[in-house]
Amino acid sequence: MSTPTSLTTLQSVRRGVELVPFDFNVGTQALPAGQYTLDRGPAPRTMMIKSDDGRRAAIVLAQPMSSVVARHAGKLVFHRYGSTYFLSEAWSSGNDGQKLPTTNRERELAAMRTTPVHATIAAAR
């Protein structure tokens, strides 16, 4: 399995509006930088990401996961390949999170990269 060239984490994600400061991919949809709300999707094991202005939205499959260590705040985890970001995980405060499946495009980009670089970005409050 390939490692992304960088992992970018947005801290303090909660049900509400969060600023994502870069264009990113969710499933097969590309979304522009902006303010987004994350919530449960309309069907089991889905997650909905909707722009604050209501013009953009994505519903994706999400695998529930949990952590032994409780978090005080949620976070979004992105994989970055060059200048292309993919939403990989969404965590709420506490122990619960959701993992999004790796897309074919992300696998293609991962196969072309070898050296991981890590970056962290704090979320807007």
Question: Which of 73, 71, 89, 81 is CA-nearest to residue 15?
Answer: 73
For residues 75 and 9, is the Cβ–Cβ distance under 8 A?
A: yes
Sign of CA dihedral 64, 41, 9, 78: positive
Per-residue model confidence (pLDDT) at position 100:
94
Residues 6+ apart with CB under 8 A from 21: 33, 121
For residues 93 and 75, is the Cβ–Cβ distance under 8 A?
A: no
Residues, the chain, total? 125
Q: Any idea what DSSP says for residue 31?
A: E
Q: What is the pLDDT along the chain (125 residues), one digit of tens a residue?
A: 445 545 555 543 445 557 889 999 999 999 999 999 888 889 999 999 999 999 999 999 999 998 888 767 778 888 888 888 989 888 877 788 899 999 999 888 888 875 444 343 444 44
Per-residue model confidence (pLDDT) at position 4:
55
Per-residue model confidence (pLDDT) at position 22:
93
Name the β-bridge partners of 23.
none
Q: How far apart are CA 25 and CA 4, in angstroms?
A: 14
